[in-house]
Structure 1
Amino acid sequence: MEKRNLRKERIGVVTSNKMDKSIVVSEVKKIKHPMYGKFVLKTKKYVVHDEKNDCNDGDTVRIMETRPLSKTKRWRLVDIIERAK
């Protein structure tokens, strides 16, 4: 039996679902500035594979790293944590 490496998981908010079977998820981190000590918001965007076209803008989702599915898609949807209100 093959042993698979541990895959990265992220939690983020859906910012776009205009594409077919694809969504854009933004992950926001609070990073402390090394010199000034102020907390700065850093945003990272991921293009995610959404097989069932389930997600809507504002949903909080969990995504997992996977093999390259297209030019920019390297993540897939695991589950929807919270629906947008």
Structure 2
Amino acid sequence: MPRRILQGVVTSDKNEQTITVLVERRFKHPLLKKTVRSSKKYRAHDEANQFKTGDSVRIMECAPISKSKRWTVVTEASA
């Protein structure tokens, strides 16, 4: 199974080796045929504490690291 890779924006970097990433997705509503925006926050492992609030990053699924962390930062996303 390939691991999922998502792109989002860092909303918090206050924890040690952890960042919170807001991932937004857009889809067409099945009945209204209108584009809807939906967002979700993921906690990701940042080994070197190099990413700061506002950075655009890519995160990849991984084995559970802690109770809430199941993602790790792959790289900074290009603009």
For the superposition of Structure 1 and Structure 2, which TM-score range results when normalised by the shorter chain? over 0.9
TM-score, with length taken from structure 2: 0.92
In structure 2, the residue matched to 1:44 is 40
C-alpha displacement of 1:48: 0.1
C-alpha displacement of 1:39: 1.0
Whole-Å Cα distance in 1 between the matches of residues 27 and 40 of structure 2? 12
Whole-Å Cα distance in 1 between the matches of residues 39 and 10 of structure 2? 13
Unaligned runs of 5+ in 2: none
Compute the RMSD of aligned alpha carbons: 1.3
Unaligned runs of 5+ in 1: none
Pairs aligned (count): 79
Highest CA radius of gyration, 1 or 2?
Answer: 1
Report 1:1-85 matches (<5 A): 5-82=1-78
C-alpha displacement of 1:82: 4.5
Counterpart code for 2:18: S
Consecutive aligned runs of 4 or more in structure 1 exceeding 2 Å deviation: none
Counterpart code for 1:13: V
Counterpart code for 2:63: R
Is the Cα contact below 8 Å between 1:27 and 1:43 reproduced in 2?
Answer: yes
